[in-house]
Amino acid sequence: MVARIPAEERLLNLTVALLGTEVGLTRAQIFRTVTGYAERTRDGVGEDTLGRMFERDKDTLTGLGTRIEVIGDASNPDDLRDARYRIPREANTLPEDLAFSPAEVALLALAAQAWGEASTSREARAGLRKIRALGLDVDEPILGFSPRVRATDAAFPALRDAIDRAVEVRFSYLRPGSARVRERRVRPLALVQFEDRWHLHGEDLSLGEPRTFLLSRIVSAVTIAGTPFPPELREGAAERALAALRALAESQSAVVEVTAGSEAALRLGQRAAREAGGALRVPMTDAYVLADELASYGPEARVVDPPELRDLVLERLRATRAAHEGPARPAPPLADARPARSRAATITADRVRTVLTLVPWLLERGEVPVSAIAEEFELAPAEVRRLLSTLTLVGEPVGGMYTGEMFDLDWALFDERDVVSLTHTVAIERAPRFTAREVAALVAGLQLVAALPGAADAAALAELRAKLSRGAPDALADIVLVDPPTSHQRAELATAVREGRAVRFRYRRPGGESTERTVDPFGLVLAGGEWYLKGWCHLRRAERTFLVARMTDLAVTSQAASHRAPVTPELFAPGGEDLLATVRLPTSLVPLVADFLEHAETVADGSDTVARFPIADVGVVSRLAARGGGRIEVLDPAAAREAARTWAVAGENLHLAALH
pLDDT average, residue stretch 389-413: 78
Is it the case that residue 565 has pLDDT exceeding 50? yes
Secondary structure class of 79 (helix, strand, coil): coil
Residue 283, pLDDT score: 93
Residue 212, pLDDT score: 94
Identical topology for domains 492-560 and 575-659: no
Residue 455, pLDDT score: 64
Residue 529, pLDDT score: 66
Mean of per-residue pLDDT scores for the chain: 84
Is it the case that residue 599 has pLDDT exceeding 90? no
What's the pLDDT tens digit per position in 104-122? 888 888 888 777 655 677 8
What's the pLDDT tens digit per position in 352-386? 999 999 999 999 999 999 999 999 998 999 999 99
Residue 650, pLDDT score: 96
Residue 344, pLDDT score: 36
What's the pLDDT tens digit per position in 167-219? 999 999 987 766 678 899 999 999 998 887 889 999 999 888 999 999 888 88
Which one has a higher pLDDT value, 299 or 334? Answer: 299
Residue 355, pLDDT score: 92
How far apart are the two ends of the chain, measured CA to CA in Å? 85
Q: State the Cα torsion 204-205-208-214 to the nearest 10°.
A: -10
Residue 345, pLDDT score: 33
The model's confidence at residue 477, banded by pLDDT at 50, 70 and 90, is: low
Is it the case that residue 401 has pLDDT exceeding 50? no
What's the pLDDT tens digit per position in 121-146? 788 888 889 998 988 765 555 555 65
Total residue length of the chain: 660
**How many Å apart are CA 576 and CA 581, to the nearest integer?**
14
Residue 349, pLDDT score: 85
What's the pLDDT tens digit per position in 421-467? 999 998 898 899 998 888 888 888 887 777 666 666 778 888 888 88
Domain boundaries, the chain: 7-92+345-424, 95-249+433-491, 250-323, 492-560, 575-659
446-455, 539-548, 576-585: segment of lowest average pLDDT: 446-455
43-47, 141-145, 647-651: segment of lowest average pLDDT: 141-145
Q: How buried is 197 (Cβ within 10 angstroms: 0-12 exposed, 13-18 middle, 19+ buried)?
A: middle
Q: Mind spelling out the 3-state secondary structure of 127-195? A: HHHHHHCCCCCCCCCCCCEEECECCCCCCHHHHHHHHHHCEEEEEEEECCCCCCEEEEEEEEEEEEEEC
* Main-chain dihedrals φ then ψ at residue 110, nearest 5 degrees: -70, -40
Q: State the Cα torsion 21-23-24-30 to the nearest 10°.
A: -70
Q: State the Cα torsion 400-406-412-418 to the nearest 10°.
A: -120
Residue 110, pLDDT score: 80
**How many Å apart are CA 602 and CA 610, to the nearest integer?**
6
Residue 458, pLDDT score: 77
Strand-by-strand arrangement of the 633-636 sheet: 601-605, 608-615, 579-586, 633-636
pLDDT average, residue stretch 219-243: 89
Answer whether 478's CB lies under 8 Å from 239's CB: yes
What's the pLDDT tens digit per position in 47-105? 999 999 999 999 889 888 888 999 876 455 555 567 899 999 888 899 988 888 888 88
Answer whether 506's CB lies under 8 Å from 515's CB: yes
210-214, 501-505, 510-514: segment of lowest average pLDDT: 510-514
| Rg (alpha carbons) of the chain, rounded to whole number | 28
Residue 436, pLDDT score: 82
What's the pLDDT tens digit per position in 281-305? 999 999 998 999 999 999 999 999 9
Answer whether 256's CB lies under 8 Å from 279's CB: yes
The model's confidence at residue 499, banded by pLDDT at 50, 70 and 90, is: confident
Is it the case that residue 532 has pLDDT exceeding 70? yes
Is 492-560 a CATH 2.60.120 domain?
Answer: no
281-285, 307-311, 329-333, 377-381: segment of lowest average pLDDT: 329-333
Model-level pTM? 0.69
What type of residue sits at position 18? L
The architecture CATH gives domain 575-659: 2-Layer Sandwich (3.30)
The model's confidence at residue 343, banded by pLDDT at 50, 70 and 90, is: very low
* Main-chain dihedrals φ then ψ at residue 523, nearest 5 degrees: 165, 175
Q: State the Cα torsion 493-496-497-501 to the nearest 10°.
A: -140
